[in-house]
Amino acid sequence: MSKKHHAGRATEKLSDEDYEKQLYELQVELVKFQRDIIANGEKVLVVMEGRDGAGKDGTIKRIVENLSPRETRVVALPKPSDREVTQWYFQRFVNHLPAAGEFVLFNRSWYNRAGVERVMGFCTAADVERFFADVEEFESMLVKSGIQLFKYYLDITRDEQKERLADRRKDPLKQWKVSPIDAKAIAKWDDYTKARDEMFRRSDHEKARWTAVRADGKKVARLNVIRDLLGRSAYGGKRHGLCQVDDDVVMPASRALKKGLLAD
């Protein structure tokens, strides 16, 4: 994909001052949002997916930064154990689902099977087909049980990914993020693109739609993910004007696919 697809507001540069001001206002809204989750015994689950280096960690960090640590959990599971490999695929995720009053964010999720596991050869083609046969029913069960489910996919261009992964290797504070899979993420770019598009087509359903985020502009993407989450949620004292999403940045995945707005 040429840069023009990620031009304009999708890569808009914000001054640090403007970014911090907008982030503060949105984080105040997130505190209101969580107050109602706790008071009403709601169960909220955010699935954050995306290419390596797309900004999942940073986006999640800004969402949870000022929230109650007792009612907020970030789940980033390691590779499955030998025992977990023999279980029903979704089983190890179930224990981490939100109970009443909890806000849970998955930094990668069961969608590993449709993405990295598939591309890297960590599962079979039959495993992938079984996943797609089951995922809609699994998520529908979650929603029917009262869980509010949000699914975000952060997308960046090939050049942006190369730059971010290179910067990560140089930063002594980000060494925990560096892995051998980084280089393969670039080498297997086309495979990841194909897997992403099929994942959208086969797991975007009425109970749990995919939301695509064009994240070359890191700060703009963070702000707009928070706006989208707040804008789609009901809570007391909402400042509706703060929750207006830039639809060049955050959009239904079906629209992004149809109009060719994602990196290829």
57, part of any domain = yes
Torsion angle of alpha carbons 253, 46, 51, 115, nearest 10°? -80
- Could you count the other beta carbons within 10 Å of the beta carbon of residue 195? 19
Residue 177 confidence (pLDDT): 81
Per-residue model confidence as pLDDT tens digits over 46-76: 999 999 999 999 999 999 999 999 999 999 9
264, part of any domain = no
Tell me: pLDDT of 4 over 90: no
Query: What sections of 111-217 are H helices per DSSP?
Result: 116-119, 125-144, 158-170, 181-187, 189-203
Residue 8 confidence (pLDDT): 34
If one counts the domains in the chain, the total is: 1
- Distance between CA atoms of 136 and 208, rounded to whole angstroms? 8
Residue 9 confidence (pLDDT): 38
Full domain range(s) for residue 91: 3-258
122, part of any domain = yes
| DSSP element (H, E) containing 214 | strand 210-214
DSSP 3-state of 95? coil
Least confident residue range of 112-126, 160-174, 218-232, 243-257: 160-174
Question: Average pLDDT in the 38-50 region?
Answer: 98
Under 8 Å between Cβ of 261 and 5 = yes
CATH code, domain with 114: 3.40.50.300
Q: Tell me the pLDDT band of 13, cut-offs 50, 70 and 90.
A: confident
- Distance between CA atoms of 97 and 43, rounded to whole angstroms? 9
**236's tokens:** 């007391």
Q: How many helices and strands, by DSSP H and E, does the chain display?
A: 11, 6
263, part of any domain = no
Under 8 Å between Cβ of 102 and 64 = no
Q: Which residue has the higher pLDDT, 6 or 85?
A: 85
32, part of any domain = yes
Tell me: pLDDT of 10 over 80: no
Q: Tell me the pLDDT band of 202, cut-offs 50, 70 and 90.
A: very high
Question: Average pLDDT in the 28-52 region?
Answer: 98
Distance between alpha carbon 9 and the CA centroid of its chain, in Å? 20
Per-residue model confidence as pLDDT tens digits over 97-140: 999 999 999 999 999 999 999 999 999 999 999 999 999 999 99
The per-residue pLDDT of the chain, averaged, comes to 94
